[in-house]
Amino acid sequence: MHRGVRGFPLALALFTTALVPASAARATDPPRSAPLPLERLFDNTAVSDDARPAEADFDGSGASLSARDLTAAGWTPGRTLTVQGAQLTWPPRQPGEPDNVRAAGQEVRVGGHGDTLAFLMAGTHGTEVSGSGTVTYADGTHSSYLLSASDWRTGPLATKAVALPHVNTPGGRLAEKARLYVVTVPLAPGREVASVRLPRADGLHVFALSVRGAGGWTGTWAAATSGYAAVGPWTDRTLRLVVHTSVGGPRVRLRFDNTFGSAPVRIGRATVAVRAAGAAARAVPVRLSFRGAAGIDVPAGAQAVSDPLGFKVPANADLLVSFHLPGTVRAAPVHRLAVQRSYLSGPGDHTADGSAAAYTSTLTTWPLLTGVDVSGGPGSVVALGDSITDGDRSTAGANRRWPDVLADRLLRQTAVPRYGVLNQGISGNRVVTDRYPGDGVSTDAGGVSALHRLDRDVFAQTSARTAVVFEGVNDVRSGATAEQVVAGLRKIADRAHARGLRVLAATILPCGGDSRCTASVEAERAAVNAWIRRSGIFDGVLDFDIVLRDPGRPTRILAAYDSGDHLHPGDAGLAALADSVDLDLL
């Protein structure tokens, strides 16, 4: 098995971890100039006023981003946006002014401690553009990274930070999506960044970059955004979502996510409380703040993280997270399969209500809220999966998903640290194919592929240290070959190892008896499992197939573990999966 977690084949590297003195640069390296703030290096104009499109030329053919569309998305000049946990400032420039730099080896002054370097960028050559750059640390060492930019007009919508509805050209507006991307690369742990040398890559444009901070927090609950769905509409309503913690701590912060959004969402006020029963709190809910304010506008594609709050979060307990939506919300990013009843109030701000009286309707999804963190702790294990991880067919409201049971096991022992457990399962999810297209309102909540959501749902999760990958059955049931699934799993492992994460892979459960699990599907499933067991690229293998299969009919789940549909385990089967995990592998 792969034990060199922070090592990886050079040909696959996104980041070279070997640190060398800055003075040891090769003689062929160009001389280094004094680092400058990124704004001092801007040499291209990407944004135009819609009435004066000729004042910008982003791609060399006269096309540009619409200032009106950016404003409508909440991306206004000088605004700090949080995307993938990184704070990035949209250039404080007016339309027609230089607002980005064409990457050509410039040395950028960047400071801070963290685990990741984040770039807000896009390519303009019609295809993906890549190049290598260098990070210099305050101690004189440096490391290299590989940066790839998707094209602003043809790149995948599934991985974009924001999509704008138009492209400005000298001949007028085109009804065509313009994309902007946030891409992250790992940093050497524990070192202070001093500067970043950009790649030499024609057509790669950088609007902002920053160091994403690390440490001090542990994720206790999370949910993956599975799609962007029509809701309500909700006007002047309060949502009270019920979430279950894995670990506890003395302080808390919440994360709201407008992933896949096309317009800002206003959160008027928000509170947190320990749940008593139903929508009722044990005590008066405690108010949260956002950068010192009671509420916040969450731009399209961005996040809002609440200020740290002194609030004792118990382990293995239900929290009530309440937030008021003062405007009208017709569509929102959601996690569709909550397997938990949450609540919706009548008109008004009821975030501070301790009683359940105002909450007259129920919800079975988790809109907007994607994370709860507690201070301190040893870090988190992230379960990247499909409906079996999501808890489909488990008892609603009972927290019997296998990651919940794993979290309970960790709390009851002292042999290994009591890690937080973050459930990033999405019902219907696949390794290599997007179910949700990545943009616009859709009824399909199967999410973008595991490969396309890896950065957001694993790498950007608070204090992630180990990823458990348990996917593939939906791929083979939908016609994917074992070779395609294996290629996707290999990419996930390589990318995660490049981030210094441990990666465990779980074998695919048998599904005989399900109408789509034909003999040919079984052959592909068996081939994927054989590769997982023998490949050696993972830091551990969780052989869930052996745990749940019927010894007499190994293509089927044992009847005692079957929920009845022959595809999803019931509560007993999910508990058996969690109980089979070797905690030392985490």
Query: DSSP secondary structure string, 2-66?
Result: ---TT---GGG-SEEEEEEEGGG--TTSPPPPPPB-GGGG--B--EE-TT-GGG--SSSSS-BEE
Q: How far apart are the first and last CA of the chain?
A: 14
Burial of 518 (0-12, 13-18, 19+ CB in 10 A): middle
Domain of residue 489, CATH code: 3.40.50.1110
Give the C-alpha separation, 248 to 372, whole Å: 10
Question: Does residue 445 share a domain with residue 365?
Answer: no
CB neighbours of residue 453 within 10 Å: 24
Q: What are phi and psi of 219, to 5 degrees?
A: -70, 130
Query: DSSP secondary structure string, 466-488?
Result: EEEEE--HHHHHTT--HHHHHHH
Q: What's the pTM value of the predicted model, to 2 decimals?
A: 0.94
Distances (CA, A) of 399 to 274, 384, 393, 549: 16, 17, 12, 23
Give the C-alpha separation, 56 to 53, whole Å: 6
Full domain range(s) for residue 176: 10-212
pLDDT, tens only, 438-459: 999 999 999 999 999 999 999 9
Three-state SS for 366-397 is EECEEEEEEECCCCEEEEEECHHHHCCCCCCC
CB distance 253 to 306 below 8 Å: yes
Question: Does residue 67 share a domain with residue 190?
Answer: yes
Question: Does residue 460 share a domain with residue 399?
Answer: yes
Domain-terminating residue out of 156, 178, 212 = 212
Question: Does residue 254 share a domain with residue 186?
Answer: no
Within 8 A by CB and 6+ apart from 84, the residues are 118, 182, 184, 212, 455, 456, 459, 460
pLDDT, tens only, 530-569: 999 999 999 999 999 999 999 999 999 999 999 999 999 9
Question: Does residue 160 share a domain with residue 297?
Answer: no
Question: Does residue 384 share a domain with residue 365?
Answer: no
553: alpha, beta or left? (left if phi > 0; alpha if psi -120 to 50)? beta
In the numeric block, which tokens belong to residue 583? 């905690």
CB distance 245 to 220 below 8 Å: yes
Residue 471 counted as domain residue: yes
pLDDT for residue 1 = 44
Question: Does residue 140 share a domain with residue 92?
Answer: yes
Give the C-alpha separation, 46 to 69, whole Å: 13
Low pLDDT (below 50) residues in the chain:
1-28
Residue 3 counted as domain residue: no
Q: Where are the alpha helices (DSSP H) in 400-556?
A: 402-411, 450-454, 473-477, 482-498, 519-534, 544-548
Which residue is listed with tokens 């980005």?
Answer: 100
The SS3 call for residue 549 is strand
Residue 313 counted as domain residue: yes
Question: Does residue 338 share a domain with residue 414?
Answer: no
Question: Does residue 153 share a domain with residue 236?
Answer: no
CA gyration radius for the chain? 24
Q: How many domains does the chain have?
A: 3
Give the C-alpha separation, 437 to 447, whole Å: 8
Question: Does residue 150 share a domain with residue 292?
Answer: no
pLDDT for residue 214 = 75
Give the C-alpha separation, 471 to 382, whole Å: 13
Residue 444 counted as domain residue: yes
Which residue is listed with tokens 């619409």?
Answer: 66
- DSSP run (H or E) holding 72: helix 67-72
Q: What are phi and psi of 428, to 5 degrees?
A: 90, 0
